[in-house]
Structure 1
């Protein structure tokens, strides 16, 4: 039987410093999980790590159309 390790969560560098915007991430295989650090038993969003990197690059380059 394979041993399953728990994700190692870390606070995202994109979280704000005010204490109200706490985002934690964990890499699990080729996917990234994202959760609210104030609600660790709450919902978790899972995306492919590549898609997350593309999303972050788009935020950094301000190329996302918000509207």
Structure 2
């Protein structure tokens, strides 16, 4: 994760509802994609290496199917 000296530009997915619940935000940096809980910014965020971002998203999307 970055040292915090560079401000990240966070955004929510277009799939996030207008209600604002159950959302995550991501910020794309040079070395990693950072992920945080949009409802509770005090919680620990994490970063995924850019090389592993697409497989990570595929895994998460597959794990939410009923």
**Cα RMSD (Å):** 2.3
Q: Which has the larger radius of gyration?
A: 1
Look up the match of 1:46.
47
TM-score (normalizing by structure 1): 0.64
Displaced runs of 4+ in structure 1, greater than 6 A?
none
TM-score (normalizing by structure 2): 0.65
Q: In the comparison of the two structures, how many residue pairs are matched?
A: 59
Residue segments in structure 1 that go unaligned for 5+ positions in a row: none
Residue segments in structure 2 that go unaligned for 5+ positions in a row: none
- Does the Cα contact within 8 Å between 2:23 and 2:37 map onto a contact in 1? yes
